[in-house]
Amino acid sequence: MFGFISIGLYILYLFKTIRHASKEEEIEVVEMNKVLESITENIEKTNKKVKIKMVLVVKLGLIFIVLGGELLVFSAEKLIEITGISEEFFGFVILAFVTKIEELTLVFKSIKKESVEIGLGGMIGKIIWNLSFTFGVSGIIAMNINFSLILLLNWLILLGLILYYHFKSTKKSLNRKDAIILTIFLLMFLLINFFKV
């Protein structure tokens, strides 16, 4: 049931985002025409061989994603057996850090190119995707996700972060003081999970 609610929330988020985007200021027609012209030129330049290669690369990429997921779960189980650490710690700290490296790279590149919104948007979008769609589908498949104390504490930290970001979004800026507060949230998260080990 919780999985269906999570997926429903994700669909609601999608509709709200689409409606918000449609209400934003209209893009100038000149800029849109330039974009359309460049897209048309790019389509004309690509030939059928390139399109076939692109389709094959995408299919191969999807196969590797599925295989990578299977290998990740298999290797995680073996690492947990060898090291004796708890599944919660492995998931909350180690796996979470490893899977966030790509987002950190995206944020640093977007800061370097002075397009911070792209990096932050990617991170926020992935969090929303994980909390709603991924968690929802997992809940439907697993049918029963047990809530432990460590999960509850991590949810409370997440709730605190969401409330903090909601408060900061009204001011529309983040500064060094905010960075310190966010670092404190991270340290609390790490300490709670380390003491659980």
Specify the residue for token string 């897209």. Answer: 39
For residue 118, pLDDT beyond 80: no
**Which of 1-5, 89-93, 163-167 is the least confident region?**
1-5
Per-residue pLDDT tens over the stretch 37-88: 776 766 666 666 667 777 788 888 888 877 877 787 788 888 888 888 887 7
How do the domains of the chain map onto residue ranges? 1-45+85-144, 46-83, 146-197
Nearest alpha-carbon partner for 107 in 125, 119, 124, 115: 119
Q: For residue 29, give Cα distances in angstroms to 25, 39, 57, 150.
A: 12, 15, 35, 53
The count of residues in the chain is 197
Q: For residue 143, give Cα distances in angstroms to 70, 113, 167.
A: 20, 44, 35
Q: For residue 53, give Cα distances in angstroms to 47, 49, 59, 108.
A: 10, 6, 10, 31
What is the distance between the terminal CA atoms of the chain, rounded to a whole angstrom?
30
